[in-house]
Amino acid sequence: MSAASLFRNILAPPVLAAATLVAFAGPSTPSPAGTPARPWMDKALSPDARADLVLKQMTLDEKLQLVHGTHWIVHRDGQDVPAHSNYGAGFVPGIARLGIPGIDMADSAVGVRTATFQGRYATLLPSTLGAAASWNPQAAFRYGAVIGRELRAMGFNMSIGGGVDITREPRNGRNFEYAGEDPLLAGTMTGNLMKGVQAQHLMGDIKHYAFNDQETGRTLYSADIGKRAARESDLLAFQIALGIAQPSGVMCSYNRVNAVYACENAWLLTDVLKHDFGFKGWVLSDWGGTHSTVKAALAGLDQEMPSDQYFGKPLKQAVLAGKVPMARLDDMDHRILRSMFAAGVVDDPPTPRTVIDPFRGRDDAQHLAEQSMVLLKNDAHLLPLDASSLRSVALIGSHADVGVPSGGGSAQVNAPGGDAAGPGAREGESIYFPSSPLKSIREHAPAARVAFDPGTDPAAAAALARKAQVAIVFVNQPMREGMDRATLALPGNQDALVAAVAAANPHTLVVLETGGPVAMPWADKVQGIVEAWYPGIGGAQALAGLLFGKVDFSAKLPVTFPRDDAQLPRPAIAGLAAATDEHAAAFDVDYNKDGAAVGYKWFELKHLEPLFPFGFGLSYTRYAYSGLTVDRDGRTATLTVKNTGQRAGTEIAQVYARLPGASGENYKRLVGFARVALAPGESKTVRIALDPRCLSVYDTTRDTLVRLPGTYRIVAGPSSADTPLAASFTLGK
Ligand code: BGC
């Protein structure tokens, strides 16, 4: 399909523009006679002062109007949309009398969702897990800026992307919309992503708070975990992301934590989030995640989404009866209003007038994908492929003739022109986007014969592979919200397919299009392995550029790839058997088993060797590490990286710490990292800031993070499993 025809239908004028432009009496509108003057429109005042001025004018009903949504994605079943809603996942009507716009929320984890409902187009970016593999905060910011730009153009003023639940369960169906297993990496990447969204003068969100680390029984389970482990793992990722993004919203999750629903958990919402983390924005419930009125309101929930079952009339009654103090309702409203002023959605509201530039989006997506694909194996210099000597390629599997897969659920972006892999839903498969690996590879190797086999019959695929110089097998793992994969094994016949092709052709490369880690029983039998994740609308172009060496691989794994399920803290997903039963009872997941030892920490603690370790990734060049020093109080580490190979590249240097013995920990933690771009032969000495929170333990008696006295052993190198440099510093009592 040509680029022109690909995008033709999406350049049509937005069908809802007229409906959505009537939004509200904005800041430039003079106050009609009889309505109050609007001193809160004075931009010189602080967001808090402006919010207080509005609050003083609000009636009880107006105060209640802001603390719940009005509908449950009604456009899906053809019902009427509330006046002014922009067809997003959630809508809170504004207060036109006071010049306060409505809140139009859009799911936008990896691109804006439901664009086609408005006759529009949205860019599909690589999965956020893939973006985390870049270890590049600037790239994350750019990622968010693409989403923000397109949200603005569509008239949304709030993104409800920003997933940062860490990969405690590698089979979790939503890992692709999160940012990996390490709190520092995940928090840094997600925080910068949301900062990029908000830089477009929009409101942003970080979710799902907290411990929504599996989809199986997500409304049924209680994640049971001690305070210290909680604060040094999942909650630390939130803390870091919140510190960077200062988001407007935090979405509390469906599950319970230590037996109490997250959206009515006073410890999570008030003690930790609002008090300890100093969160100034508002807590909104996940869709249908509110379970009470008084309990939730007093625990710190500020807004019920997407409707008003608990925070509509019942909250009004509770306030009038004094069961929820007016001050608490005012606090909810203050948090919402101050966030609107702080983000700029009152002063600079988005108007759905602009047509999205799909080509600009595709370029951004491609650039991000180039930094996200990880080269896991490259024996005998299989890659880069040499276009001048390449005569034949067998391309096999995963609809690689037409496109690349995407993740499902509320992170699903609409594919332009519909599913590239064919009309109609194919049960259990992903939606494919029109970025054709076959076409891109042909463009890079015009003299080669590039043939495609769908991979459904391993024997037929092997027959094609046998005749080719190089065989490239694409394998995929469909993932979506609401379900996990029962095992790390690739679904269907894909393991058999790879084994058959590898037996037929010694030069076999496997391209993984997965939501997260998978087992690879054939890893020793193939020459090359590339993890491409769900690569987005520029995925095929990025992949071809990397395979042919136009661009160097630089990404590194943001998650451990286990050998098999037996290596995991929970070899079978908790509640898997029960969750398929709609009458299933609540159950507990024992997160104290792994505690803060998530991912690579678990593997080190249990002396397990993964298939591919956290932080691992190859490139077309080589690097040498030397000269690690750490300053006296462990604020920064300095080290030198040299490019000892023949071509330019970018290395991701990683610094880990082992805490003093009193920590009781038998594993190291990531405490800093840096991307270092190097010409051939060049060396650079870089100073890497070490995050003090990652060097701390949570003291449960004083309820705070503390630095333990004693010796901190710092190691550094190219991955969690390869840390050639060592240094230390000692803190006194
Ligand atoms: C998901 C959220 C999403 C919301 C609105 C929920 O099912 O868990 O991540 O933002 O739906 O679509």
Which of the listed residues 117, 156, 159, 160 should we mutate to test ligand 1's pocket, taking the one with most ligand atoms within 8 A of CB?
Answer: 160
Ligand 1 midpoint to CA 24 (Å):
27
Q: What is the dihedral of CA 210, 268, 135, 654, to 10 degrees?
A: -120
Ligand 1 midpoint to CA 306 (Å):
10
Ligand 1 midpoint to CA 307 (Å):
13
Which of the listed residues 194, 410, 480 should we mutate to test ligand 1's pocket, taking the one with most ligand atoms within 8 A of CB?
Answer: 410
What is residue 452's predicted lDDT score, i.e. its pLDDT?
98
Ligand 1 midpoint to CA 2 (Å):
34
φ, ψ for residue 476, nearest 5 deg? -135, 160
- Residues 686-718: tens digit of each pLDDT: 999 999 999 999 999 999 999 999 999 999 999
Ligand 1 midpoint to CA 649 (Å):
39
Q: Which of 527, 569, 513, 586 is nearest to 233 (CA)?
A: 569
Ligand 1 midpoint to CA 482 (Å):
10
Strand-pair category, 158-159 with 103-106: parallel
- Residues 374-422: tens digit of each pLDDT: 999 999 999 999 999 999 999 999 999 999 999 999 999 999 989 999 8
CA distance 38 to 27: 9
Ligand 1 atom closest to 90 (CA)? 5
Ligand 1 atom closest to 212 (CA)? 8
**CB atoms near residue 731 (< 10 Å):** 15
pLDDT band at 36 (very low <50, low <70, confident <90, very high): low
Ligand 1 midpoint to CA 319 (Å):
28
Ligand 1 lining (C-beta closer than 6 Å): 89, 107, 160, 207, 286-287, 410
Strand-pair category, 704-706 with 697-699: antiparallel
- 559 to 477, 650, 653: CA distances (angstroms): 16, 20, 16
What is the end-to-end Cα distance of the chain in Å, rounded? 67
pLDDT band at 580 (very low <50, low <70, confident <90, very high): low
The two tokens of residue 110 are: 């990896």
Q: Which residue has the least CA distance to atom 6 on ligand 1? A: 287
Strand partners, 688: 637
**CB atoms near residue 450 (< 10 Å):** 22
- Residues 596-649: tens digit of each pLDDT: 999 999 999 999 999 999 999 999 999 999 999 999 999 999 999 999 999 999
CA distance 448 to 107: 42
Q: Which of 542, 537, 409, 421 is nearest to 150 (CA)?
A: 537
The two tokens of residue 727 are: 């240094």
What is residue 579's predicted lDDT score, i.e. its pLDDT?
57
Ligand 1 atom closest to 160 (CA)? 10
Query: Residue 126: pLDDT above 50?
Result: yes
Which of the listed residues 286, 304, 480, 484 should we mutate to test ligand 1's pocket, taking the one with most ligand atoms within 8 A of CB?
Answer: 286
Identity at 211, one-letter amino acid code = F
The two tokens of residue 274 are: 């609002």
Query: Residue 462: pLDDT above 80?
Result: yes
Ligand 1 midpoint to CA 658 (Å):
37
Mean pLDDT of the chain: 92
- Residues 49-71: tens digit of each pLDDT: 999 999 999 999 999 999 999 87
Ligand 1 midpoint to CA 87 (Å):
14
Ligand 1 midpoint to CA 411 (Å):
8
Ligand 1 midpoint to CA 171 (Å):
19
Ligand 1 atom closest to 207 (CA)? 9
Q: Which residue has the least CA distance to atom 2 on ligand 1? A: 286
Ligand 1 midpoint to CA 72 (Å):
11
Ligand 1 midpoint to CA 611 (Å):
33
Query: Residue 205: pLDDT above 70?
Result: yes
pLDDT band at 355 (very low <50, low <70, confident <90, very high): confident
Q: Which of 392, 384, 273 is nearest to 335 (CA)?
A: 273
Q: Which residue has the least CA distance to atom 11 on ligand 1? A: 287
Q: What is the DSSP letter of 408?
A: B
Which of the listed residues 176, 211, 287, 290 should we mutate to test ligand 1's pocket, taking the one with most ligand atoms within 8 A of CB?
Answer: 287
How open is the CA angle 381-386-391, to the nearest 5 degrees? Answer: 115
What is residue 251's predicted lDDT score, i.e. its pLDDT?
98
Q: Which residue has the least CA distance to atom 5 on ligand 1? A: 89
Ligand 1 atom closest to 73 (CA)? 12
Query: Inter-axis angle of helices 358-370 and 137-154, to 10 degrees?
Result: 160
CA distance 362 to 385: 24
CA distance 195 to 243: 10
- At residue 698, the 3 state secondary structure works out as strand
Ligand 1 atom closest to 113 (CA)? 12
Q: Which residue has the least CA distance to atom 9 on ligand 1? A: 410
Q: Which residue has the least CA distance to atom 4 on ligand 1? A: 287
7-21, 145-159, 324-338: range with lowest mean pLDDT: 7-21
- Residues 670-680: tens digit of each pLDDT: 999 999 999 99
- Residues 507-529: tens digit of each pLDDT: 999 999 999 999 999 999 999 99
What is residue 351's predicted lDDT score, i.e. its pLDDT?
82
Which of the listed residues 86, 87, 158, 481 should we mutate to test ligand 1's pocket, taking the one with most ligand atoms within 8 A of CB?
Answer: 481
- 475 to 454, 494, 514, 664: CA distances (angstroms): 11, 6, 8, 41
Identity at 698, one-letter amino acid code = Y
The highest-confidence range among 70-74, 79-83, 604-608, by mean pLDDT, is 604-608
Ligand 1 midpoint to CA 71 (Å):
13
Mean pLDDT to the nearest integer, 498-515: 98
pTM of the model: 0.94
Residues comprising the chain, all counted? 733
What is residue 15's predicted lDDT score, i.e. its pLDDT?
29
pLDDT over 90 for what percent of the chain?
87
Ligand 1 atom closest to 410 (CA)? 12
Query: Residue 349: pLDDT above 60?
Result: yes
Query: Which of the two residues, 586 and 15, has the higher pLDDT score?
Result: 586
Cβ contacts of residue 697 below 8 Å, gap of 6+?
228, 232, 659, 663, 705, 706, 708
Q: Which residue has the least CA distance to atom 7 on ligand 1? A: 287
Write b or e for each residue in 411-448: b if 16 or more Cβ atoms lie within 10 A of its Cβ, otherwise e: bbbbbbbebbbeeeeeeebbbbbbbbbbbbbbebbeeb
Tokens 């603005």 locate to 152
Strand-pair category, 649-658 with 669-678: antiparallel
Tokens 């136009």 locate to 550
Which of the listed residues 71, 74, 107 should we mutate to test ligand 1's pocket, taking the one with most ligand atoms within 8 A of CB?
Answer: 107
DSSP string, 469-534: SEEEEEEEE--BTTB--SSSSPSTTHHHHHHHHHHH-SSEEEEEEESS----TTGGG-SEEEE--S
Rg (CA), the chain: 26
Cβ proximity of 531 and 611 under 8 Å: no
Ligand 1 midpoint to CA 80 (Å):
21
